[in-house]
Structure 1
Amino acid sequence: MAIVPLPRRPLDPSDGSGGITRGVPGDIACDAVRQWYENDLDWATVPGTPVHLLTGLRFDVLDVPAEAGVAALRHLGPLPGAGSPVAVHGGRALLLVAAGSAEELPGLLEWLDWGGLDLDLTAVGTGGHMVAPTPPGGAGRLGGVLREAGSQGAAEWLRPPEPGREVEPSLPTMSALGGGGGAPDLVRVVDTVATHCHRVRLRRAGTRPAAFS
């Protein structure tokens, strides 16, 4: 399966949209962001500016309209592993799911009878990347640099990862299907997200969606 990259141009901190203030070298802020992800979370990054995170190693990403992603999270409610990280970027929600999920997505959508519909739902896995959201709260040693430099991009954590805690057990996974693991069921997450993606598209097209419970 071909990996579909995130359908947005990475923000360029030199073009005025990246939030890097004058007088603070952008590479200092980017280095601080990179160190936070690599040292505090042990996540692989992609060389270059702005910082991007490699997918397919520790996690894959479901990329959906922000409206659909937030509605899906609200509908799912409290779940085991409900602390799985979620970011927002450029009107999109980026839901972290277990590595390998991107390969499962087409088959899952077919099995759930969503195949053939344009849901504006993509997955990024092995060989892909996502822009690195600003570390939450500018905490710890990053505080001074990030307060002065601002966001390294428009991406922000809606539900951030926690340094010192393994992210994998909290991620939606196929192995949770039918069974008692700590992570939520990927099938339920994908079905809920797909439903809300469909609702968003119908609403934007002026068609009243069917009730979803």
Structure 2
Amino acid sequence: MEETIEQRGAASTAQIPQQRGEAPQDTAVRYAEERHWDVFPGTWMETVDGVPRCSCDDTGCAAPGAHPTRNDWPAQATGSASTARRIWEKQPSASILLPTGRTFDVIDVPETAGFLALARMRRMELTLGPVLSVPNGRTQFFVLPGASAKVPDLIRKLGWPPSSLDLDTLGEGKYVAAPPTRFGTRGAVQWANRPTDANRWLPDVEELISPLAYACAREARR
């Protein structure tokens, strides 16, 4: 592996700059205001009789503290900072979720493959958008919308059957959890490549698919 998880460095895992003690409400507002991302509230972690659990009360929850609370969540999502503030005032502990397929799509890969690809992309000086590191062992790359329709053919052109790689595209009707959302007891979602003024313009998936597919194929051979 070209870069271990421990070698990422403090800068690469830093979250979007926050004020000390900033609440999820303030972060959600800044995502809407500064990045023009739609946001919507999800579940949250709570402690009952000393045991942490998801607010959905499902003891077998697959994404504790980091999933929608309603089936109609796409209609909840808002790009209005004032509306976001009102939503989180009602439930200050709610996680911050971002719908994909609107201002961005997301390429979701295993954590090890993601950081291998990220190291290679930086050496190649590729244009990178924000990248998430999720405590469930996944790395998520933000790209321009429309990636879902392109990825299968792009992978085939590189010589792999799409089904052979652990690489998923999150587009319309899906979502990601954003920092500082906590993912169960595993920790918080973090930025592996944080949002900055320099990466407001997202890369097309065609620019990143080769190193991502290569890293996923290498991981599959382990």
CA-to-aligned-CA distance 1:126-153 (integer Å, 9 cap, x gap): 121100122xxxxxxxxxxxxxxxx644
Give, in whole Å, the separation in 2 of the partners of 1:80 and 1:194: 15
Three-state SS of the structure 1 residue aligned to 2:23 is: helix
Choose from 157, 165, 169 the match for 1:111. Answer: 157
Out of 203, 217, 222, the position equivalent to 1:172 is 203
**1:167 Cα shift?**
4.3
> 1:55: how far off?
0.9
CA distance in structure 2 between the partners assigned to 1:40 and 1:152 by the alignment: 22
Q: C-alpha distance in 2, partners of 1:109/1:80?
A: 19
1: CA distance, partners of 2:23 / 2:182: 7
| Selected match of 2:139 from 66, 81, 93 | 93
Residue identity matched to 1:62: I
How many angstroms does 1:124 deviate by? 0.2
Shift of 1:47: 3.5
* Structure 2 residue aligned with 1:197: 216
Q: What letter corresponds to residue 141 of structure 2 in structure 1?
A: L
* Structure 2 Cα separation of the partners of residues 57 and 41 of structure 1: 13
How far is the alpha carbon of 1:105 from its aligned partner? Answer: 0.9
Q: What TM-score do the two structures reach when normalised by structure 2?
A: 0.59
Overall identity of the aligned pairs, in %: 30
Provide closer, same or farther for how the CA distance between residues 159 and 58 of structure 1 changes in structure 2, counting only shifts above 3 A: same
Count of aligned residue pairs for this structure pair: 145
Contact kept, 8 Å, 2:152 with 2:162, in 1: the verdict is: no
Unaligned runs of 5+ in 2: 1-20, 43-93
Cα drift, residue 194 of structure 1 = 1.1
TM-score (norm. length: structure 1): 0.61
Q: Distance in 2 between matches of 1:198 and 1:111?
A: 14
Contact 2:167 2:213 in 1 (8 A): yes
- 3-state DSSP of counterpart to 1:114: coil
- Structure 1 residue runs of 5 or longer lacking an equivalent are 1-23, 135-150, 174-185, 204-213
Task: Judge conservation of contact 1:119–1:198 (CA < 8 Å) in 2.
Answer: yes
